[in-house]
Amino acid sequence: MTYPDLYLMIDGQRVAGGGRRTHSVVNPATGETLAELPLADAADLDAALAAAQRGFLRWRESTPQERAAVLQGAARLMVERQEQLARIATLEQGKTLAEARIEVMMNVGLFNFYAGETFRLYGRALVRPAGQRSTVTKEPVGPVAAFAPWNFPLGNPGRKLGAPIAAGCSVILKAAEETPASALGILQCLIDAGLPGDVAQAIFGVPDEVSRHLLSSPIIRKMSFTGSTSVGKHLAKLAAEDCKRTTMELGGHGPVLIFNDADLNRALDTVVAGKYRNAGQVCVSPTRFIVESGVYDRFLTGFVERVENIVVGDGLVDGSVMGPMANARRLDAMDRLIGDAVEKGARLEIGGARIGNAGYFYAPTVLSGTPLTAAIMNEEPFGPVALINSFADEAAMITEANRLPYGLAAYAWTSDAARQRRVARAIEAGMVGINTAMIGGSDSPFGGVKWSGHGAEDGPEGIDACLVTKAIHEG
Ligand code: NAD
């Protein structure tokens, strides 16, 4: 299939050329350039801001029926265009087609859920004496600046666009420059479903320039960011200068507690698939495997056996289970983190090297006995590497799970019902999976605590994050 032309989508118009700087979009499976992406200049950003202000004044007056019709219409178009969208995502990001198709359907579920939620943005009436009235209403916060990364090229833009649109906000989306066509494809579904062009726009640029420009504008009332903790902290400071509302979905370092009484085969089948999904470039990826000593040897052996069967290849090719990493930066990070761990005493059980000379392929990797002093035990690896260590008992396992400042997703495998509840309560995380890797859903808040961020996407919470409350008192 051919890769589409790229542009900025400002005020309903496709904007490109005109001497703008460009960024080369690369297919990570081959290293070949797919297309040149125009980058926004200051005038483009000002045009997008002016349109977003207009779009907000229009969209905040829309009815739930109008918003729901757009969201449901876009969901229908995504189903029709599933194959085309999935292929674009695989071409520019590398994940397998099967994973990209799932991403489209996650957006479909979310948009349909949000369509229903537009009718449930309730306020409340307070109890007052006769003749007086006090009500609390919810209103859209205003134009939103949303920053979406490349790891879920379809899903991240879907989240960033869906919630503001459902809430009655306008939104300027800066999706990743590495995966622009997927983001433009999702926006086009909304526009084709009737969304006015000034309500949602997509721009690309030099990230630091774009975020400084948008966040210094008083037009923007909320910032939503998904990405690394370090960039998130920087953007939160910029947003604070103007007291803008923020939703921050940042990094993680997912602990997975495997207890002696776990259903080991089921746990292994689930966590190995979860670990190498999207080549480990997932914020909720299971990363630190904290294994009780009684099952440590069996768990490690079973894990490595399953990893041996993972077929690494171009995501467009049938049979590939794991695609390339999304960019050369991730390969460098893998070499650095794994090299450092081995140097500090970790045992390389399998993998630990790049594959081939073309594209950004890295072997699925397992390290055991990695000391806590290794960088990889403290820094989000964001790649296809599992860290498997042995611990004496539940107390030591919980201590290790909560050791890091991250708190996004955590997982535990145990058949003891009392322990399931104890562990779920003790772990500091925004999402906990007990005997499951499924920790999200369109109706469920997705977000973290501590350095993993604040606020949530998806669920009623996702829309609530785009609303402000107003109390109205009548005497
Ligand atoms: P990065 O931190 O430079 O970029 C992450 C994302 O933030 C990208 O989409 C980038 O365009 C954007 N970004 C960077 N600087 C920005 C700025 N000043 N203003 C606005 N946006 C900005 O790193 P990267 O190399 O792309 O990814 C590396 C790390 O990012 C990973 O190790 C991982 O920890 C994290 N990450 C997290 C997620 C997530 O889902 N939470 C997704 C992608 C990357």
pLDDT in tens, 168-196: 999 999 999 999 999 999 999 999 999 99
pLDDT score recorded for residue 2: 85
pLDDT score recorded for residue 1: 67
Give the percent of the chain with pLDDT over 90.
99
> How much distance in Å is there from the Cα of 207 to the middle of ligand 1?
10
Please check whether residue 296 lies inside any domain of the structure: yes
Distance CA 369, CA 251 (A): 23
Give the percent of the chain with pLDDT over 70.
100
**Residue written as token pair 């689930």:** 270
Region 420-431: mean pLDDT is 98
CA nearest neighbour of 464 among 176, 190, 141, 159: 141
Residues 158 and 174 in one domain: yes
Region 326-330: mean pLDDT is 96
Region 287-301: mean pLDDT is 98
Region 8-35: mean pLDDT is 97
Q: How high does pLDDT run on average in the chain?
A: 98
Please check whether residue 440 lies inside any domain of the structure: no
CA nearest neighbour of 296 among 268, 258, 263: 258
Give the residue whose CA is nearest to atom 29 of ligand 1: 228
Residues 459 and 310 in one domain: no
Region 52-72: mean pLDDT is 98
Residues 375 and 461 in one domain: no
Please check whether residue 89 lies inside any domain of the structure: yes
- Do residues 237 and 221 touch, judged by C-beta distance below 8 A? no
- Do residues 459 and 442 touch, judged by C-beta distance below 8 A? yes
Region 225-254: mean pLDDT is 98
How many domains in the chain?
2
Residues 64 and 184 in one domain: yes
Residues 227 and 261 in one domain: no
Residues 266 and 234 in one domain: no
Q: Is the pLDDT of residue 73 over 70?
A: yes
Q: List the CATH number of the domain containing 103.
A: 3.40.605.10
Give the residue whose CA is nearest to atom 38 of ligand 1: 227
CA nearest neighbour of 30 among 363, 328, 381, 383: 328
Ligand 1 pocket test: which of 147, 159, 231, 451 has the largest number of ligand atoms within 8 Å of its C-beta? Answer: 231
Residues 138 and 245 in one domain: yes
pLDDT score recorded for residue 413: 98
Region 331-360: mean pLDDT is 97
Please check whether residue 2 lies inside any domain of the structure: no
Region 222-245: mean pLDDT is 98
428 in ligand 1 pocket by Cβ < 6 Å?
no
Residues 206 and 72 in one domain: yes
182 in ligand 1 pocket by Cβ < 6 Å?
no
Q: List the CATH number of the domain containing 322.
A: 3.40.309.10
- Domain containing 16 equals 8-250+452-474
CA nearest neighbour of 441 among 149, 106, 161, 75: 106
pLDDT score recorded for residue 326: 98
Region 353-357: mean pLDDT is 95
> Looking at the annotation, which residues are catalytic?
249, 283
Residues 273 and 195 in one domain: no
- CB-CB neighbours of 312 under 10 Å: 19
pLDDT score recorded for residue 104: 98
pLDDT score recorded for residue 47: 98
Please check whether residue 3 lies inside any domain of the structure: no
Please check whether residue 370 lies inside any domain of the structure: yes
